[in-house]
Structure 1
Amino acid sequence: MKFIFFTALLFAFSISLHGQTLEGQILDQSSSPIAEATIINRANQQHSHSDLRGSFQLEKVAVGDTLEFRHLLYRPKVLLVVQTDSSIIVQLDDLAVELEEVVINNKVNSLQLLSDIDLQLQPVKSSQDLLKKVPGLFIGQHAGGGKAEQIFLRGFDIDHGTDLSITVDDMPVNMVSHAHGQGYADLHFLIPETVEQIQFEKGSYNEQKGNFATAGYVNFKTKNYLEDNLIKLEAGQYNSARVLGLFKLFNSEKQSAYIASDYQATDGYFESPQHFDRLNLFAKYSLNSSPNNHINITASHFQSSWDASGQIPTRAVEQGLISRFGAIDDTEGGQTSRTNIRLAHKKIIDAHSLIKTSLYWSKYDFELYSNFTFFLEDSINGDQIKQREDRNIYGLNTEYNRFFHFNQLEGALIAGLQLRADESIDNELSHTINRQTVLEQIQFGDIQEKNAAAYLGAKLNIGKWLIQPSLRLDYFDFAYTNHLSSEYDHRATTKSILSPKLNIAYQQSNRLQLYLKGGKGFHSNDSRLVIAQNLDEILPATYGFDLGYNWKISPKMFLNMAYWYLYMEQEFVYVGDAGIVEPSGRSQRQGIDLSYRYQPVTSLFFNLDANYTHARSIEEEVGQDYIPLAADFTLQAGLNYKHSSGLYGSLNLRHINDRPANEDNSIVAEGYTLVDANLGYEYKQFDFAVQLQNLFNTAWNETQFATESRLFNESESVEEIHFTPGTPFFLKLVMQYKF
């Protein structure tokens, strides 16, 4: 009996001296597991990491020890051990708005963390304004607020999305072979308050992104749950109003659901009222059916209609025929709608592997009336055109991840499959009068386009090095049925492209990272021109690289700088406005990107993004080699103040240089500098704000094109700048209530 007592006493003493093994799980605020979190015992410096299930085991833990839980994307947490004989669950909060907490590490995209901070600090006025959170990206609206915006990035006039891949929860926004132009990306179905994170990368270096990802990609990740219900009211000049509601249906450890609704209306600042209105509906359901299974179901619908004044010629304003906010043809406008359903499933197979799968379907309708040349082609009836289509998009994304550790080597293997099918029914380009009478059908038919892609990649962490080789294969099937032919006219063709990529990063310290990214990208051409002209260059490729660094100059100061180069093999761009093809030949672009962030105190945050680009056509003579609308310099800067008392405000500046509007730079699109301001106060559940756009009432041109046109009283046509005037001083009041 004494021997048993002595043995038990010795065992207890051993436990107190050496500790036991503590088991647990680390979750985020939506009860989803957090992988690769670090657990440190401050008493003896023992450490461990969580697996894909968020589970961990930490040896030599005793009652009274202090444990520290860390992850690059979450706020650190410290816990005191009160018992070791049962499993614990630890929930980590999202990263705070602190530049000091941004860590340079090969496992995380530092620029992505900066974007997360920008999104929290700066107010977003619309879904398209979310794009402005990408450093160096500019947008311009030129058709009554309902048409997708024009996009500028890295020396590209991307038009509506030709060279930028845009997705929402990995569901494509870009439309292939769209009635208005290739890659058309209408983001208006996205409610900005539902966005949790903006994921982006410039260049064509990510194996998960294929078509249109030449200048880069942007993915908007929506929230899985709501912390609060929200009602927001906005009212501004020009009969502008917005009503928003976000409501939790339920929120528990295993499941959550919420709905959102958004209605907007405005007459705009033009002399002819825009009569713009848009309705958005959104719902999301999340289920953790088990620790290893996570399901998301998302449904959304939006519809919009508007009238537009359109682009106007400079001479009409200079001659006093119309004002800056007047119109030559104010019967332009349109209507559009989109319905989305998406099902996503993440299965954690074991502690080191998982598979993610998503299915989606979109129903999209589009009708647009425009007049860019007035009376150039038809001196009696005018040149108004109608572009229309009804589209269905079906898609599947699936990806397998396998994580491994072997001595000093750790990393992951990634394999994925993507399928997408587009059916554009009655895709039409017609000559019309007053949005009523069709004079001539220029193009009319059905488009079927399919894209299958497979990719394989690896992430290898070797000491201070990160090496990411990958390979992507895309296969396209183009088909077009021409309804204008007197006989049955259905033609099809196929094409494939292989895109290798390689990213290398070297982490010199926790303050400095050097990187080199390189890869091949592409964008597809419109099915109609592929079929009509039997093109060889169906999938023109791009080749590029980024050489740069991330430098944490001090705990409160961050700098990113990169030199980049992009060669474009050849482009044939379908111009939906006129129903013609414009080959642009080979081109090259190169430039320097700079992003700087400084937070001297918690309440004050400064951001600066400056971008220089030199863009030229390779096949043209010097002086005739300018790329139209390629901006050579853009700058975005902001000063944001947010005090613990609830007072907040911001000043934001954006600038774009003059840029060539044609190949010899004889016609110039004027640059502009704008300043916006925001002032608000949070009091308990209430938030009151005043938003001021174009604070100094600058007269600026939002979108500009070199266009040949003829007015009704002119005998000869004139080629010059046609523009849409930008927003004058605009005041908006915002009130929101959380509960």
Structure 2
Amino acid sequence: MTLPSLTPLPLAAALAALFVHAHALADDPVIQRVLVEGSRASQLGIADSANAGSVSQKELEMRTIYRPGELLEATPGLIASQHSGEGKANQFYLRGFNLDHGTDLATWVDDMPVNQRSHAHGQGWTDLNFLIPELTARLDYRKGPYSPRDGDFASAGSAYVTYANRLARDVATISAGQNGYLRTALAASTDAADGVLTYAVEALHNDGPFTRGDDYKKLNGVLRYSRGYANNGWSVTAMAYHGSWNATDQVPGRAVDSGRIGRFDAVDNTDGGDARRYSLSGVWRQTSAESATKVNAYVIRNQLDLWSNFTYFLDDPVNGDQFAQPDRRVTTGFNAVHTWHAHRSEDMSSDITVGLQGQNDNIFNGLYHTVARRTLDTTRQDHIRESSGAAWIENATRWTPWLRSTLGVRADKYRFRVQGDRAGNAGSAADWLASPSLNLALGPWQDSEVYVNYGTGFHSNDARGTVATVDPKTLEAVGRAPGLVRSRGLELGLRTEAIPKMQTALSLYRLDFDSELTYVGDEGTTEAGPPSRRYGIEFSNYYKPLKWLSIDFDAAFARARSRGVEAGQDRIPGAVEGVGQLALTVTQLGPWEGALRLRYFGPRPLLEDNSVRSHSSTTLNGRIGYRVNKDLRVELEGFNLANRKASAIDYYYASQLHGEATARDDIHFHPIESRSFRVTLIQNW
């Protein structure tokens, strides 16, 4: 198996103000109001919807996370799961979606896109294992297709992770825990050549609770030079990440129930992966009393080798069904945004923002039949060149002290070019979409605001599906897929701070997709799905009754259905129905601090007729910290404290184990990790 190489051309801190209209509204006195003492900054007069928010560095520090991708669970209603080895991208759930490895959840780190288009394993592949928590300054999130600033993959939601230009305090950590867990990290800032040099390095090893340890090894580094300030200055950042692992993929329930294997065993002990990511990016900002400009550009080189076996001996009773999905790519792109104050008066203000975006992906990937990571034959091998450009404009107007509007439109153009090992699956295609949006905010009245949101968005399909005419496995004829699939969202929301020391948000939404069509990387084919509709309700509440105590509670329920299908066959497999989190956080209690977080992951239909469903799971994680002195503290983290035997993820499909005469339909599950603890020593200076 050879692909061409590529040469790259916690909860008690104040929230950072939402990025929505940050420049346009920064001088408004409403923004500067804080209604919950010693807590999060008020969002009244700032946010365009009830589902947007920002999570500060301190809040992120107080979360107990097993893997970096779980930082995104700070977004209310979002679940990050895993069905394979530690180095693999997470599986995400939000707003009635099984988002697979990132489809319809747009994720950005330091203004660089994380979602990988036309990926070998799945559209929108979102691998966040290169995140270094010590550098994370904040997480901004939005849900729904209501902003022209968000493009591909953002229909269910978007998450923006920002690294700090300068650390308030340098930090060194060393952690050790059960199951072969070891981690050390160093992050620091220093003055250099009239600017600031910020750097971080991280090394990690983790086996997990599996019989054959994951042996996940990670090396990670960031180097940034910046000059000026956050709103007037520039920075250049280099990142490098390498991870390798064994994979204990999902296992069939029948094999565990019969005692043939244990919960933490694997069927194919040669599954695993190796991932590398290198990037170079720069950003420039200039802000004056009349306007604000931001320009950033990036080049990213990603490399993945992934070996999986989900059906065991179904297709090949002799050699087994393991397959490899290598992916090599260089991604280049830029974003430019300019805002100017079109009108200012005592009673009214208006701002106009325009943006340009461009991205190009040069990709070599494939699908191979393997045994013990040795290639037997090629299913497909492709060279993909996918490019896109977008322009958008947004007007934000405060008409009266109680009425704000945001009107925007975005236009996207995509071009797909595929060269492969089969002439019937090669060629070029193009597609474009215009996506309008409108947001109204009414209030505040008695410390409350009402929001009405409407918008259209999209996700791109895999480039291979836009030109394919032949199934590479069966050689049967297939239809071509559209390049872009439209979504339409409508939402009614409420945000209130009428109760002292409490912030509450409630939203009702509907989200339609023209098609659930996706590229199935495990098969090398495009899978057509019918149109869909999702209704949902989301509730988020933050309460700080005491200076040292914070209580978070959020819950979400969604109803996902396919449209235009046979009666009783309208369930969407894997679509999450209900999720919730309850967290208690203690800070400033002498030298002590700590947190407990209860997470509920509701059941999902596994078949269209709802005859097979996954079980729900409830897990409890926690942490406790003790400050030895102003520069030294020790923390103890605990995961799955109740030691629940639950599934991290469930699938229902046919597989065949060695020795079985025929294939069998079964639930295949990946267990959540058993109870484990980690202790960390943290030194600041």
Q: Normalising by structure 1, what TM-score?
A: 0.85
**Aligned equivalent of 1:693:** 639
- Asked whether the equivalents of residues 426 and 468 of structure 2 are also in contact (C-alpha less than 8 Å), the reply is no
Structure 1 window deviating more from structure 2 (197-206 vs 122-131): it is 122-131
Q: Unaligned regions of 5+ residues in structure 2, if any?
A: 1-15, 17-21, 470-478
2:382 equivalent to 1:445: yes
- Asked whether the equivalents of residues 658 and 670 of structure 1 are also in contact (C-alpha less than 8 Å), the reply is yes
**Aligned equivalent of 1:399:** 337
Partner SS, residue 433 of structure 2:
strand
Partners of 2:665 and 2:304 in 1: CA distance: 30
Q: Unaligned regions of 5+ residues in structure 1, if any?
A: 1-27, 29-33, 39-48, 51-69, 77-94
**Aligned equivalent of 1:704:** 650
Counterpart residue type for residue 260 of structure 2: L
**Aligned equivalent of 2:451:** 515
Partners of 1:156 and 1:299 in 2: CA distance: 34
| Per-residue Cα deviation, 1:575-608 (whole angstroms, up to 9, x for no partner) | 1012222211111000100001111011000000
Q: Against the structure 1 CA distance between its residues 538 and 239, is the aligned structure 2 distance closer, same or farther, given a 3 Å change threshold?
A: same
| Per-residue Cα deviation, 1:152-174 (whole angstroms, up to 9, x for no partner) | 00010000011111111221000
Partners of 2:579 and 2:199 in 1: CA distance: 38
2:88 equivalent to 1:136: no
2:117 equivalent to 1:180: no
| Per-residue Cα deviation, 1:695-724 (whole angstroms, up to 9, x for no partner) | 010001112111210011111111111111
Partners of 1:248 and 1:263 in 2: CA distance: 19
- Asked whether the equivalents of residues 667 and 720 of structure 1 are also in contact (C-alpha less than 8 Å), the reply is no
Partners of 2:117 and 2:37 in 1: CA distance: 39
Mapping for residues 54-133 of structure 1, pairs under 5 Å: 72=31, 98-99=39-40, 101-106=41-46, 115-116=55-56, 118-119=59-60, 121-133=62-74
Alpha-carbon distance, 1:106 to partner: 3.6
2:215 equivalent to 1:275: yes
Alpha-carbon distance, 1:144 to partner: 1.1
Q: Which has the higher contact order (CA 8 A, sep 6+)?
A: 2
Considering only CA atoms, is the larger Rg found in Structure 1 or Structure 2?
Answer: 1
Q: 2:184 aligns with which of 235, 243, 247?
A: 243
Mapping for residues 213-292 of structure 1, pairs under 5 Å: 213-250=154-191, 255-288=195-228
Alpha-carbon distance, 1:255 to partner: 2.5
Partners of 2:582 and 2:434 in 1: CA distance: 39
Partners of 1:430 and 1:220 in 2: CA distance: 35
Partners of 2:86 and 2:62 in 1: CA distance: 25
Q: 1:607 aligns with which of 552, 557, 567?
A: 552
Partners of 1:470 and 1:435 in 2: CA distance: 49
- Asked whether the equivalents of residues 50 and 506 of structure 2 are also in contact (C-alpha less than 8 Å), the reply is no
Mapping for residues 441-590 of structure 1, pairs under 5 Å: 441-463=378-400, 464-484=402-422, 490-509=426-445, 511-533=447-469, 535=480, 537-590=482-535
- Asked whether the equivalents of residues 240 and 264 of structure 1 are also in contact (C-alpha less than 8 Å), the reply is yes
Over the matched positions of the two proteins, sequence identity in percent amounts to 31
Partners of 1:441 and 1:124 in 2: CA distance: 39
Partners of 1:726 and 1:595 in 2: CA distance: 26
2:325 equivalent to 1:387: yes
Partners of 2:446 and 2:407 in 1: CA distance: 24
Alpha-carbon distance, 1:630 to partner: 1.0
- Asked whether the equivalents of residues 106 and 466 of structure 1 are also in contact (C-alpha less than 8 Å), the reply is no
Partners of 1:390 and 1:632 in 2: CA distance: 35
| Per-residue Cα deviation, 1:342-386 (whole angstroms, up to 9, x for no partner) | 1111123x4211221111000110100000000000000000000
Partners of 2:579 and 2:648 in 1: CA distance: 14
Q: Against the structure 1 CA distance between its residues 123 and 700, is the aligned structure 2 distance closer, same or farther, given a 3 Å change threshold?
A: closer
Alpha-carbon distance, 1:248 to partner: 1.5
**Aligned equivalent of 2:7:** none
Alpha-carbon distance, 1:409 to partner: 1.9
2:682 equivalent to 1:732: no
Partners of 1:369 and 1:280 in 2: CA distance: 23
Q: 2:623 aligns with which of 678, 681, 698?
A: 678
Partners of 2:63 and 2:262 in 1: CA distance: 34
Partners of 2:654 and 2:381 in 1: CA distance: 25
**Aligned equivalent of 1:64:** none
Partners of 1:74 and 1:161 in 2: CA distance: 36
2:589 equivalent to 1:638: no
- Asked whether the equivalents of residues 295 and 343 of structure 1 are also in contact (C-alpha less than 8 Å), the reply is yes
- Asked whether the equivalents of residues 446 and 498 of structure 2 are also in contact (C-alpha less than 8 Å), the reply is no
Alpha-carbon distance, 1:73 to partner: 6.5
Q: Against the structure 1 CA distance between its residues 232 and 373, is the aligned structure 2 distance closer, same or farther, given a 3 Å change threshold?
A: same
**Aligned equivalent of 2:141:** 200
**Aligned equivalent of 1:306:** 245
Partner SS, residue 325 of structure 2:
strand
| Per-residue Cα deviation, 1:175-214 (whole angstroms, up to 9, x for no partner) | 0000101111111111112111111111011111111111
- RMSD across aligned C-alpha pairs, in angstroms? 2.3
Counterpart residue type for residue 170 of structure 2: N
Q: 2:87 aligns with which of 146, 149, 158?
A: 146
Partner SS, residue 498 of structure 2:
strand
Counterpart residue type for residue 677 of structure 1: G
Partners of 2:289 and 2:388 in 1: CA distance: 33
Alpha-carbon distance, 1:624 to partner: 1.3
Structure 1 window deviating more from structure 2 (151-160 vs 276-285): it is 276-285
- Asked whether the equivalents of residues 608 and 638 of structure 1 are also in contact (C-alpha less than 8 Å), the reply is yes
- Asked whether the equivalents of residues 375 and 382 of structure 1 are also in contact (C-alpha less than 8 Å), the reply is yes
Alpha-carbon distance, 1:540 to partner: 1.2
Partner SS, residue 212 of structure 1:
coil
**Aligned equivalent of 2:307:** 369
Alpha-carbon distance, 1:109 to partner: 7.2
Alpha-carbon distance, 1:538 to partner: 2.4
Q: Against the structure 1 CA distance between its residues 108 and 205, is the aligned structure 2 distance closer, same or farther, given a 3 Å change threshold?
A: closer
| Per-residue Cα deviation, 1:52-104 (whole angstroms, up to 9, x for no partner) | xxxxxxxxxxxxxxxxxx7847989xxxxxxxxxxxxxxxxxx99514x4352
Q: 1:321 aligns with which of 254, 257, 260?
A: 260
Partners of 2:23 and 2:562 in 1: CA distance: 47
Alpha-carbon distance, 1:536 to partner: 5.6
- Asked whether the equivalents of residues 36 and 71 of structure 1 are also in contact (C-alpha less than 8 Å), the reply is no
Counterpart residue type for residue 236 of structure 1: G
**Aligned equivalent of 2:612:** 667
Alpha-carbon distance, 1:483 to partner: 2.9
**Aligned equivalent of 1:46:** none
- Asked whether the equivalents of residues 103 and 510 of structure 1 are also in contact (C-alpha less than 8 Å), the reply is no
- Asked whether the equivalents of residues 68 and 129 of structure 2 are also in contact (C-alpha less than 8 Å), the reply is yes
Q: Against the structure 1 CA distance between its residues 35 and 334, is the aligned structure 2 distance closer, same or farther, given a 3 Å change threshold?
A: closer
Q: Against the structure 1 CA distance between its residues 140 and 226, is the aligned structure 2 distance closer, same or farther, given a 3 Å change threshold?
A: same
Alpha-carbon distance, 1:510 to partner: 6.0
Alpha-carbon distance, 1:141 to partner: 1.2
Alpha-carbon distance, 1:467 to partner: 0.5
Partners of 1:110 and 1:687 in 2: CA distance: 37
Equivalent pairs counted in the alignment come to: 652
Counterpart residue type for residue 207 of structure 1: P
- Asked whether the equivalents of residues 160 and 184 of structure 1 are also in contact (C-alpha less than 8 Å), the reply is yes
Alpha-carbon distance, 1:115 to partner: 2.9
Counterpart residue type for residue 468 of structure 1: T
Counterpart residue type for residue 261 of structure 1: V
- Asked whether the equivalents of residues 53 and 140 of structure 2 are also in contact (C-alpha less than 8 Å), the reply is no
Q: Against the structure 1 CA distance between its residues 232 and 74, is the aligned structure 2 distance closer, same or farther, given a 3 Å change threshold?
A: farther
- Asked whether the equivalents of residues 537 and 570 of structure 1 are also in contact (C-alpha less than 8 Å), the reply is no
